[in-house]
Structure 1
Amino acid sequence: MTQPTPLNTEARMRPSPFYVIALALTLPLFMTACGPTELPAVAEASKPALTVSLATPTLQPVSNVISANGSVAAWQEAIIGPEINGLRVEEVLVQVGDRVRKGQPLARFARDTVENDRMLAEAALHEASAAAGEARADGQRARNLEDSGNLSAQRIQQLLTQEQTTQARLETARAQLALQKLRLSQTVLRAPDDGIVAARSATIGSVPAQGNEMFRLIRQGRLEWRAELAAQQLEQIRPGQKAMITSPGGSTWSGVVRLVAPTIDPSSRRGMVYVDIDSAKAGEEGFIPPGAYVSGELMTGIQRAMMVPQSAVVARDGFHLVFVVSKDMQVSALKVSVGRIFGDQQEVLSGLKGAERIVASGGAFLNNGDRVRLASSPANPDQH
């Protein structure tokens, strides 16, 4: 029987072509799934340091204020109307918004009827004056003949009584003439005080009744701001404190607290503060009209507040941050609570002690842990 020919050992160890192809296809997949067992370390590129300037919080005196809202009203109003009945308006001399002086004519009424009544009163006075003169003469004769017995006592008494009666009628006639002169002067409607005409209902040809409003006057042109405050805020307000009011047009007005209401509204639990508005701008552009609802601030005193540059405060993720620079020029973000803005300065209510070195500007480009360098030493970032 023929023996099988033994295969060459080298031929037996040579891989099959199909095995080589399969290995070439699966090796990349294996390396991707398992990952490299050892890769050479690559040095991460150094992030460049941001050049910044530093600032330190400072304590500055600022006004302590209370914000409030309220309406603007006239300090006092004067209602002006006719003092006599039955007169026709003949002329209207002023319009709404006019500034008037005390005693200035506002309107004129037809005076024919009143002038006629004055003439009748004057004639009645002349008549009474003549009758009184005759009665005085009769009374003097009666007194001279009283002791002679030529006149009875009754007649003497009648003459003396007639003298007194005619004298009284003379005084009545004088009063009637004075009344008609007064009515004649009332045919001209005059301003009772300096001020601004706020409303006008007078029309030519109308016959207004006595006391009906024809004009409404803001006395002396003075306006007041009636600020509404909570009970705890009212305790901080005193007469004489300064205020700043902003008009609907954006103009600012100064004022002074005149009065703090002694009571609080039981429904709203708020009280009223009456602030006199500076009337120097009355009639100018930006004038606050009575009835406007405006906002303002009441200055209750001076306090020292911690201030930082406004550019140092960064708003991020709903918080206000400042970046504090350490000795090795590394920054760390610090949350702060901020208050009002004064020019380019921002008030910090809490979060800082006052000795920190903070980034004055450029904080929006920084993150916690970044390194910075000073603007005054660009060659050496770590120098400080």
Structure 2
Amino acid sequence: MKNIKMKPAALATLAALAVAAAGSALYAPASVAADEKKAEAQKPALTVTTARPQNATLPNRLTANGNVAAWQEASIGSESNGLRLTEVRVNVGDVVKKGEVLAVFSADTVNAELAQARAAVLEAEANAAEAKGNAERARTLESSGALSAQQISQYLTAEQTANARIASAKAVLATQQLRLKYTQVVAPDAGVISARSATVGAVVGAGTELFRMIRQGRLEWRAEITASELRRIKVGASALVKAANGSELTGKVRMIAPTVDAQTRSALVYVDLPPNSSQDAPFKAGMFASGQFELGSSDAMTVPQQAIAVRDGFSYVFRLNGDQRVSQIKVQTGRRLGDRIEVLNGIKGDTPVVVSGAGFLNDGDLVRNVAPAAATASAKPVKAGN
């Protein structure tokens, strides 16, 4: 093989071409990577749907807490003194009617004294009859002068005294009859027995409490309302009351307390609950309950619940801008109705806000806005084999 000899000028040209090729190979990957990063930066972070706020009529409610108590509680005591209790017919939780016998005292002593009082009445009536006859004879002899004026006066006075003794004896008889009546303790009204201290065999004095009763089985919810909110509540307003056990009842405001507590700066609002005297009634006196007062309705601007993103204790929505980027806006929320939430301030009625995907966005993210149906289809998982 013959050696090919090249001129120095040709060698220099070949060397320059080799250096250029090496430089192109070195810098080409760097430019390609920069283009790829730029393309990735322009790629949307999430596919979202948007909606504009809607006007709706929302109910005005005021939430409060309080206790369930008896509408009125009656204290049923003994009206007999020194009698032994022989029978107790009711217990705690029993539903009683007005006039129903609750307990019975021993009536032996009272019956004996009653018989004595009846005998005293008969004796007084017999004495009165004799005195009346003497007085009538004295009147007939008054004009004849057979009796002196003093004797006539004595007979007339004896008649009046005998009549007075009849009245006194009848009063004693009525007292003993009343004592006999008091040997039976009766319910002053219909209701539910809430407490019992009566014990068979006990000898109690007059005025000793034997039972306590919730009159007519009526309960009320005593809601605590701050002074600033008190003016919003009117007598007759409806209230939905929910007990700690999950039971719910609808009541009506019966009365608003005329005073405000100086310590808590709150007043009591008395809400009548529907009467329920059965033992399995869902509400019991002494329960803690929360409730909402119905105060009418008003117009409001609402957005879907999905559009609200809660971060660090504050509520935000994401506004879709013309460049398909989102801006995070702090809003104040209010009432809720179903899956929509009232927005009090922060946005206007024509502001497009992100609905689906709002919880995954950050301020300034680029998004792709699609119709709700398309977003649902794109989010649907693909089955294996498709």
Q: Report the TM-score, using the length of structure 1 for normalisation.
A: 0.80
Query: Which of 305-314 and 282-291 deviates more?
Result: 282-291
Show the counterpart of 1:283.
278
How many residues end up aligned between the 2 structures? 347
Of the three residues 130, 133, 140, the one matched with 1:137 is 133
Distance 1:355 1:256 in 2: 40
Distance 1:109 1:346 in 2: 65
Cα offset, 1:369, TM superposition: 2.6
Alignment of 1:163-182 (within 5 A): 163-182=159-178
Mapped pair 1:373 → 2:370: yes
> Secondary structure of 1:263's match?
coil
Distance 1:102 1:290 in 2: 21
Distance 2:313 2:256 in 1: 39
> Secondary structure of 1:106's match?
strand
Alignment of 1:1-384 (within 5 A): 38-39=31-32, 41-42=35-36, 44=39, 50=47, 52=49, 54-279=50-275, 281-283=276-278, 285=280, 287-325=282-320, 332-366=327-361, 368-376=365-373
Distance 1:232 1:319 in 2: 25
Cα offset, 1:324, TM superposition: 4.1
Aligned-pair RMSD on alpha carbons?
3.0
Show the counterpart of 1:18.
none
Distance 2:368 2:167 in 1: 105
Distance 2:185 2:241 in 1: 36
Cα offset, 1:183, TM superposition: 1.0
Letter of the 1:169 partner, please give it: R
Distance 2:274 2:302 in 1: 31
Structure 1 227/180 Cα, relative in aligned 2: closer, same or farther at 3 Å?
same
User: Gaps (5+ residues) in structure 1?
Assistant: 1-9, 11-26
Structure 1 296/49 Cα, relative in aligned 2: closer, same or farther at 3 Å?
closer
Structure 1 284/345 Cα, relative in aligned 2: closer, same or farther at 3 Å?
farther
Distance 1:319 1:265 in 2: 33
Cα offset, 1:169, TM superposition: 0.8
Structure 1 35/79 Cα, relative in aligned 2: closer, same or farther at 3 Å?
farther
8 A Cα contact 1:330 1:372, kept in partner: no
Letter of the 1:171 partner, please give it: A
Show the counterpart of 1:23.
none
Letter of the 1:62 partner, please give it: L
Distance 1:282 1:326 in 2: 62
Letter of the 1:191 partner, please give it: A
8 A Cα contact 2:48 2:368, kept in partner: no
Structure 1 75/170 Cα, relative in aligned 2: closer, same or farther at 3 Å?
same
Q: Report the TM-score, using the length of structure 2 for normalisation.
A: 0.79
Cα offset, 1:345, TM superposition: 2.6
Percent of aligned pairs sharing the same letter: 45
> Secondary structure of 1:232's match?
coil
Structure 1 288/318 Cα, relative in aligned 2: closer, same or farther at 3 Å?
same
